[in-house]
Amino acid sequence: MKIGFIGDVVGKPGRLMIKRHLTRLKQEHFIDHMIANYENASHGFGLTEKNCIELLGYGIDTMTGGNHSFDKKEILNLFDTYPLIRPMNYPKATPGKGIYETTILGYETAILNLMGHYTMPMADNPFTMIVEVVKGLKSQGIKHIILDIHAEASSEKQALLHMLKDDVSAILGTHTHVATDDLQVRDGCCYVTDVGLTGCSDGVIGMDSAVPVKRLLTGIGGHFDVPDECRSLLQMVVFELDDDGRCVGAEKIKIYDDKPKIVTKAWMDT
């Protein structure tokens, strides 16, 4: 099976890039299931029901979240209706769940969402939790396991690779909005520290540069806004899994505005 994964979708520019390009990319790369991170999809903070329906209509099948999952309070009523998850290490009383189980081409598949420690909201220990969750899924015979690790620290994401590479199919980093150049397939596990944003490419992490620059120069903050007009970027990882849930190949796709796509193959350890 082939899985596509889009990192943090930032505001309207990110949604429009998905609208323009995703249908064609799914056909060109034979993608069977499409995942995207929704936590910045509605003007940079959270997700509305309107934008949820919009993204699903463009061809997204499942959506993962992060520390901004609950910025739009209407999401509290969406988890039971739409294929949305939030980080599993939020408290148990938090609405939603951190695992989405589905069947893709006849294979039971689990899509997981986890949030790191550093600079993140108070949550349970992600490392001890994910080990037990993966062990439980494996005991059920589920071999196709895909993890979105939403974390600030690259070290936390890389540590998860060494902890889980023998037991999960893919570990895909989100949150920083800045893509890393380390897409690899290690011991049958697809890994990248951060997929990078889909949205404005000429600001600061998808936002207008004025407020972050002012904050750096003066120490005075402000509200981050997604620009109405900008140069846009779509970033996506596509990876292929065999019958045993092991990754046999991966590539990174980038598209700037309407220019030809750039495809980079993952480093393979075999």
In contact, 31 and 220? CB cutoff 8 Å: no
Q: Where are the beta strands (DSSP E) in 77-163?
A: 99-104, 107-115, 144-150
Q: CA 31: distance to chain centroid?
A: 16
Marked catalytic residue, from 29, 33, 43, 68: 68
Q: Would residue 223 show up in a list of annotated catalytic residues for this protein? A: no
CB under 8 Å to 155, separation ≥6 — which residues? none
Burial class of residue 88, CB neighbours in 10 A (0-12, 13-18, 19+): buried
DSSP H or E segment with residue 185: strand 184-186
**End-to-end alpha-carbon separation of the chain, Å?**
20
Q: What is the spatial distance between Cα 259 and Cα 251, in angstroms, rounded to a whole number?
A: 18
Tell me how far apart the alpha carbons of residues 237 and 242 are, in angstroms, rounded to a whole number. Answer: 17
The b/e string for 19-49 (b: 16+ C-beta within 10 A; e otherwise) is ebbbeebbeebebbbbbbbbbbbbbbbbbbe
Catalytically annotated residues = 68
